[in-house]
Chains A and B, each alone.
Chain A
Amino acid sequence: MSDADGHPAQRLDDVVHQRVRLGILAVLEQADADFTYLRNALGLTDGNLSRHLGVLEEAGYLVTSKTFEGRKPRTWVRSTRLGQDALATEMAALRELVTRYESNLASAGDGPDQNPRVAG
């Protein structure tokens, strides 16, 4: 990646640049998941997960649908192509950030306690 491409932090997407939302998209990259699976896999409360799903759905990164098993409703979540692309872009940017930092450390010979702010 050349400097002309800009610092990887500039490619971070505010909607998904967040641990929980990336976790949601990472699960959905593997399979469609129901609300309960996502809540348990990510260790969230119902309300917290609902808020994150709402933000991602509004951005077009996932779609939710409701099915019924008997009289019991079940919410299924599926990522869209846009969501999959956003996850891939974000992960690539994060990997590049880490790689840049590690190579900077190696060339400077400094300790790993610099902790420069890069985003957020």
Chain B
Amino acid sequence: MSNTHASSPQEAADVLRHVESVGRHTSQLLRAFWFPLVVFGALTLASAPVQWWWPGGAVGAFWAIGGPLGGALVGWYYRNRERRLGLHHSATAYVLTAVGMLAGAFLLPAVTSGDLREVASVFAVAAGYLVFAWLDRSPGLAALAVSLAVVPVVVLMSGVAHPGAVTAVVTGTAILASGLVYRRNS
């Protein structure tokens, strides 16, 4: 690697490419969102039987325990990974988003009724994923967020029984599959 100054337009272009590449590489190393996707995809799938057999308050209790536990697991994973890589990135925006997402997931069912109440929390989750996508500048994650918001609408329009459980199966599978795809490609 040259230590020289950029002394011509060609060298300036070369330095620009180098600097952008170094920054991009670091940014890509920091984006390991396959792990939270796998964790929360699995948790969402695990919530489906709860929603099927005990629709109503039980799923709230499931997420009141599972949400913070999943978040702690993801936090532990990122901290270990960053320590191993030698990088440290502020997690404040991510933690605030996760807290807002969890609060919204509890609040929306409380202010809705009927079948909508069973699926309302997914809209808060989709909004949270959209913020994560913006934080990570990830079009793929944004596409996942939009598709998550579409699922409950389609499920409600189709009039299937147990819309909450069906939505959990579809969204959980989508989140888990996205995490596994990101894992394979990372």
Which residues of A are in contact with B by a Cβ distance under 8 Å?
A: 17-20, 22-23, 26-27, 29-37, 41-44, 48, 69, 76, 91, 94-95, 97-98, 100-102, 112, 115-120
Residues of B within 8 A of A97 (CB): 6, 9, 12
What are 9 A-B interface contacts by the 8 Å CB criterion?
A17-B6, A20-B1, A27-B23, A30-B27, A30-B87, A30-B89, A32-B89, A76-B88, A116-B9
Given contacts A37-B85, A42-B1, A120-B5, 19 further A-B contacts (CB under 8 A): A19-B5, A22-B15, A22-B19, A23-B18, A23-B19, A26-B20, A27-B26, A30-B26, A30-B27, A30-B30, A32-B87, A33-B88, A34-B86, A43-B1, A91-B19, A97-B6, A97-B12, A100-B9, A116-B8
Chain B residues engaging chain A, CB cutoff 8 angstroms: 1-10, 12-13, 15-16, 18-20, 22-23, 25-27, 30, 82-83, 85-89
Output the nearest chain B residue to A34 by Cβ-Cβ distance: B86
Prevailing SS type, chain B contact patch: helix
Alpha-carbon distance between A43 and B18 when the two chains are bound, in angstroms: 12
Q: Between A and B, how many residue pairs show CB distances below 8 Å? A: 105
Measured between beta carbons, the chain B residues less than 8 angstroms from A117 are 7-8
Interface SS of chain A: helix
The answer to whether B30 and A27 touch across the interface, beta carbons within 8 angstroms, is: no
Q: Which residue of A lies closest to B5 (CB)?
A: A120
Assess A26 versus B7: contact at CB under 8 Å? Given A19-B1, A42-B1: no
B22, A98: Cβ atoms under 8 Å?
A: no
Which residues of B lie under 8 Å from residue A26 when comparing CB positions?
19-20, 22-23, 26
- Tell me the bound Cα distance from A22 to B15 in angstroms: 8
CB distance from B79 to the nearest CB of A (A): 13
A69 to B16, CA, bound (A): 36
Find out whether the CB atom of B12 lies under 8 angstroms from the CB atom of A37: no
Complex Cα distance, B82 from A76, in Å, reads: 12
Q: Is the CB of A33 within 8 A of B86?
A: yes
Interface core residue of A17, A19, A112, A118 (most chain B CB under 10 Å): A19
CB atoms of B19 and A118 under 8 A apart: no
B18 in contact with A98 (CB, 8 Å):
no
Cβ B4 vs Cβ A30 within 8 A: no
Neighbouring A residues of B87 by C-beta, 8 Å: 30-34, 37
Query: CB-CB < 8 A to A30: which residues of B?
Result: 23, 26-27, 30, 87, 89
Q: Name the B residues within 8 Å of A102 (CB-CB).
A: 9
With A19-B18, A34-B86, A98-B13 as given contacts, are A119 and B26 in contact (CB-CB < 8 Å)?
no
* Whole-angstrom distance between the Cβ of B7 and the nearest chain A Cβ: 4
Residue of A nearest to B1 (CB): A43
Cβ of A19: which chain B residues have Cβ within 8 Å of it? 1-6, 15, 18-19
A118 to B12, CA, bound (A): 9
